[in-house]
Amino acid sequence: MHVCVLGAGIIGLTTAYELTQRGHQVTVVDRTAPAAGASGGNGAQLSYSYVQPLADPGIWAQLPKLLLSPSSALKIRPQLDTHQWMWVVQFLQACNAQQSQKTTAQLLTLAAQSRAVFDALRERENIDCDFAMSGKLVLFRTEASFAAARQQMVLQKQLGGATQRAVSASEACTIEPALAHQQEPFSGAIYTDSECAADCKKVCEALTQILISRGVALRLGQDIQGWLQSGDKVAAVSLANSDQISADAFVLCTGHNAPVLAAAAGVRIPVYPLKGYSITVATDGQGLAPKVSITDSARKIVFARLGQRLRVAGMVELVGQDASVQARQIQTLQQATQALFPDCSRYTDIQPWAGMRPATPTGLPITGRQTTGPRNLFINAGQGALGFTLAFGSAVQLADELS
């Protein structure tokens, strides 16, 4: 078939790649360059084993502090937007133990599939993306949060997750010596030695070149205006320059913009942007910056080593479509980095970035054809903060259903 993939982030490009692997003719359309959105400066962690969804029952106890504290990692700016309010209500409804366990099980399965596909792709295509099986430490500031994490670790093990272990603060510093200089105490950590990190933007750039070499048509810098429908199918997608692209099937991978285009075709999807920030700093010495990926659970900030750089990312903001880079949030990331790793960089160039992570209330992505709408329109969106981790498995699931 001829398949038109809308979106050139990590979700769209992996989808296009998987479809070409199966012999389909593919056209990729995006209004910007590849990886210009949430894929460009994300947290870089491939979190295959620690997939605890944001919608967790523990959120209820944290909610007052998360909403009221000026230093909170979670920020909500109410909009005159029913979509935002509906998403928040559905998110809070998903913050229960039963849904959290169900989501965790499904995410672990999808993450394992994604890992196998990405491993095979890197070997097959020889992609240079600063990949490292660095392992990961998730740090917990309080004994209560550490106890909850140990329960989550037991659950993930029961569900077939990778081997993890709870370690004391001193053990964590032995695993990652750079933590020995951190300025604030923590109660303990969950360590997973099999976790990985890579530069998502470099993966996107490599996939773009591979797709071009295979004859995939890339229509970049093209705003998507809407659909031309014929009966119960999409006949073509219309572009801002009055051009049209006809295809046998269409896959919507436009991240946080997916709900608007989906709604124009009669499909409602509960995807909302969770804004996040990152900085990328040059490391000034092998022994000063962490080699192991670090997650500060209290601040919701992640640290991932990418060659001679350190990527620091975090924050969860529900602020509508405001993608601007806020100086205060960038300063928070820099201060958190200097508190944990005071000598890892001179911080002369921090490369500030902000991106909109498309998330569903439960944390489960939306993959495949929906019960309403055209029968040749497929969705691949809603991977949230796990977009890079789940991209390759989501692409396989989408291609399975489309084929």
185 SS3 class: coil
204 SS3 class: helix
Mean pLDDT by groups of 10 residues along the chain of 403 residues: 98 98 97 94 93 84 73 80 93 94 93 97 96 95 92 85 90 93 86 96 98 97 93 95 94 96 96 96 81 91 95 93 93 92 89 96 96 96 96 98 92
Phi, psi of 234 (to 5 degrees): -85, 125
pLDDT, residue 181, reads: 79
Give me 129's structure tokens: 């993306």
pLDDT, residue 286, reads: 58
Check residue 359 and give left, alpha or beta (phi > 0: left; psi -120 to 50: alpha): beta
Global pTM value: 0.94
Give which of 382, 383, 361 is closest to 94, Cα–Cα. Answer: 361
pLDDT, residue 285, reads: 63
pLDDT, residue 2, reads: 98
pLDDT, residue 96, reads: 94
pLDDT, residue 109, reads: 94
pLDDT, residue 300, reads: 87
Asked if 111 contacts 354 with a C-beta cutoff of 8 angstroms, the reply is: no
Check residue 242 and give left, alpha or beta (phi > 0: left; psi -120 to 50: alpha): left
Measured on CA atoms in the order 249, 254, 259, 261, is the torsion positive or negative? negative
pLDDT, residue 231, reads: 92
pLDDT, residue 159, reads: 81
